[in-house]
Amino acid sequence: MRSKKSKDISRRQFINLGVQGYTGLHIAKRIPPALLAASGCTPGFPATTTVHGVCYHDCPDSCSWEVIMENGTIKDFGGDQHNPFTAGKLCTKMETFPQDITFNPDRILTPLKRSGKKGEGKFEEVSWEHALQGVANKLESIVAKYGGESVLPFGYMGTQGLLQKGAMSNRFFTKLGASQLAETICGAAVITGNIIVNGQSTGILPEDIVHSRYIVLWGTNTKHSNVHLWPYVLKARQNGAKIIVIDPFKSATAREADWHVQPMPGTDVALALGMIHVLIEEDLCDQDYIDQYTVGFEALKDHVQDYDPATVSGICGLEEAIIVKLAREYAQLQPSVIRILVGIEHNINGGDGTRAVSMLPALTGSWRHHGGGLLHLTYEMAGKALNWERIDLYKQLAQKETRTINMVQLGAALNNTKLDPPVHSLFVYNANPMVTIPNQNLIKQGLQREDLFSVVVEHFITDTALYADYVFPATTQLEHWDVADSWGQIYINLNQPAIKPLGQSKPNTEFFRLLAQKMGFQEDCFKETDESIARSLFETDHPYMKGITFDYLLKNGWARLKVPEPWLPHREGNFGTNSGKCEFYSSYLEENGKSPLPEYKRPAISDEDQKQFPLWMLTIKSTKGFHNSSHANVKHLINAEGDQILRMSVQDAGARGIAEGDPVKAYNQQGEVLLTARIDDRVRPGVVSMPHGYWPSLVKGGATSNALTSDNLTDLGGGAALQDCRVEVELRSKI
């Protein structure tokens, strides 16, 4: 095949939280005829039509796609070649999306009610009426007895679509007076750190990296996790750019870089401060830019005296010459750009690490140049452009401020009987916390509570759904309306339903509308259709949205925001901080009892624990076929990925008598995971790594990476310090 009205996102609100595919697939040949017959085709369809859509995954690419329909059935599916960013390509895991997800024979297509013990996975089919009434009755009794805050919604980024992610669910739980969920597992620390320094997370645009001459990919595996940015990086290299990867793991991206800098995990803040030390000592800073557009330079200058190359070398495990060379090249080869995502944040220094890295472009004046600066996130641009009040409508329903529970510490919350009130009901949608949230065994313990009423809205019986009292069948992206912005580029997409919902599946929005009716909620906002909400998002006069309407996207599928060209957000300052300048020294943090300057903190590990668990464990998104926990139940993708592996250095494996392919056990105080040893040079001595995303119920031993991680929080943003994890590894019997 061809394959809001203007508004600012509340910086203060966010910081307060912190302080506290090249060718398409002829899938008609691959999907069983019986499933195609279930696609809802009816007479009257045009012979051939193109339906536009967008990938729903929590990914910076947000790929536009096209579905070719013939007589109401799907004939072809693939990336939209007309979108210059997607360029007709979907990632490997999404190329077979229709048959892997929508038409998967294991998909849930009717409501289910638990008929066995929690975790057994025994359910009986029931009608929507029966299931909704059962949920409403139980929910009413819980709220009457314990109050609305005893209900915890756990919805996250299983879809990025603005409608199915939260447009109706947020209204429902606000009206109910439920607890709020702090969505901090990914991005919280890195966004907070950047906002404190620069006032926003938006930097240069991804396409502008082609103008860069020195590209630092810091803690991001661009080739695998940002596949549509990678061609721009390679084009920059063709134009003479040098590519540097900073990552404790030798990723696929690091293997293709011109230079891989491999510090010890969690030491990024020290490395960045060491670079700053060299920049200042060797007079490599742009003093004019510093004088005009920054505050706190003198304090920073004094502060980094403690981070000389010799000291930083001892912290990071890097030679002094590497630190000096990195700083010199970064300053002298302009335009230079640093790309950061979330790899830098999942440790106790995550926020401060981001702060220190975010200062580098202002110190060197990289912001002056087209293709220079910091390449981070773009979500704020759509937040300003769209009629965002339609998404935030739920706030008008709040009768009082309710408590917030951090998703990172879900296990602790479910098991804490001293909470006032304790959590007595859990609603999970767009999420699979048994796989994706740290402290897996504690979460399992909480989900097993007989007095916890759990409801899951899903496509499959996930490891979380195994413990549900009711499971409701959700539609997939081919079956519902949605609007998608992006946190990694500046295209807006409209997702149109290509087929009718299979079986009895319904969109998330419809589930919460129907439950609202059962609960007696009378507000008009619970009666709005998905299409009407989608249309209203485009009722805006913001200049970024000029000519971009619902009807335009209905015809074309996608549109690029109309931003000024060239995009040079900080050539002359214009930072989003209160001072309007890049803030090296944060008075705000100082006022709130935090260090006003970034600093390296050693993880709080006792000598005894360090001796007992001497290896630093990284849990990383290294699988090609899975996206977090999505697709990890698809048989051909599981077969392609193989067993869970543990990567070890030759030295660490040899010291334990472990050889390539041996069965091993990684363990610590949290639990144990059974894996297969992979001996190579992709981790340093003293470090091991295992992939993230496998489902416990589908692997030997019934445990995955988060059985070993703790729910400790980052220094800023309340994120997950899950990479501060120590383990021991031993050979296990091959029997």
pLDDT-derived band of residue 621, with 50, 70 and 90 as boundaries?
Answer: confident
| Rounded-to-integer distance, Cα 679 and Cα 539, Å | 56
Return the pLDDT at 19.
Answer: 46
Q: What is the largest CA-CA distance in the chain?
A: 75
Packing angle of the helix pair 188-198, 11-19 (nearest 10 deg): 120
- Whether 43 contacts 53, CB under 8 Å: no
- Percentage of the chain lying above the pLDDT 70 cut: 93
pLDDT-derived band of residue 18, with 50, 70 and 90 as boundaries?
Answer: very low
Return the pLDDT at 239.
Answer: 97
Domain locations in the chain as residue ranges? 112-185+388-480+503-536, 189-379+577-591, 607-731
- Whether 463 contacts 695, CB under 8 Å: yes
Mean local confidence (pLDDT), 25-48: 41
Q: Mean pLDDT over all residues of the chain? A: 93
What predicted TM-score, i.e. pTM, was given to this entire model? 0.93
pLDDT-derived band of residue 714, with 50, 70 and 90 as boundaries?
Answer: very high
- pLDDT tens digits, 453-481: 999 999 999 999 999 999 999 999 999 99
Q: What are phi and psi of 102, to 5 degrees?
A: -60, -45
Mean local confidence (pLDDT), 332-346: 97
- SS3 category, 100: helix
CATH of the domain spanning 607-731 = 2.40.40.20
pLDDT-derived band of residue 23, with 50, 70 and 90 as boundaries?
Answer: very low
- Render 327-391 in DSSP notation, one character per residue: HHHHHHSSSEEEEE-STTTSSTTHHHHHHHHHHHHHHHTGGGSTT-EEE-B-HHHHHHHS-GGGT
Q: What is the length of the chain? A: 735
- pLDDT tens digits, 401-416: 999 999 999 999 999 9
**Which residue reads 């979108």 in tokens?**
83
Of 3.40.228.10, 3.40.1160.10, 3.60.140.10, 3.40.190.10, which CATH number belongs to 189-379+577-591? 3.40.228.10
Return the pLDDT at 733.
Answer: 82
Number of alpha helices (DSSP H) and beta strands (DSSP E) in the chain: 27, 27
Q: Which residues pair with 677 in a beta bridge?
A: 646
- pLDDT tens digits, 102-130: 999 999 999 999 999 999 999 999 999 99
What are the residues whose beta carbons fall under 8 Å from the beta carbon of 44, sequence distance 6 or more? none
| Rounded-to-integer distance, Cα 705 and Cα 693, Å | 8
| Rounded-to-integer distance, Cα 50 and Cα 544, Å | 27
Return the pLDDT at 2.
Answer: 36
Of 3.40.50.1980, 3.40.50.740, 3.30.200.20, 3.20.20.120, which CATH number belongs to 112-185+388-480+503-536? 3.40.50.740
Picking from 373, 391, 372, the residue whose alpha carbon sits closest to that of residue 382 is: 391
> Would you say residue 42 has pLDDT above 70?
no
Q: Which residues pair with 558 in a beta bridge?
A: 493
Other CB atoms closer than 10 Å to residue 578's CB: what's the count? 12
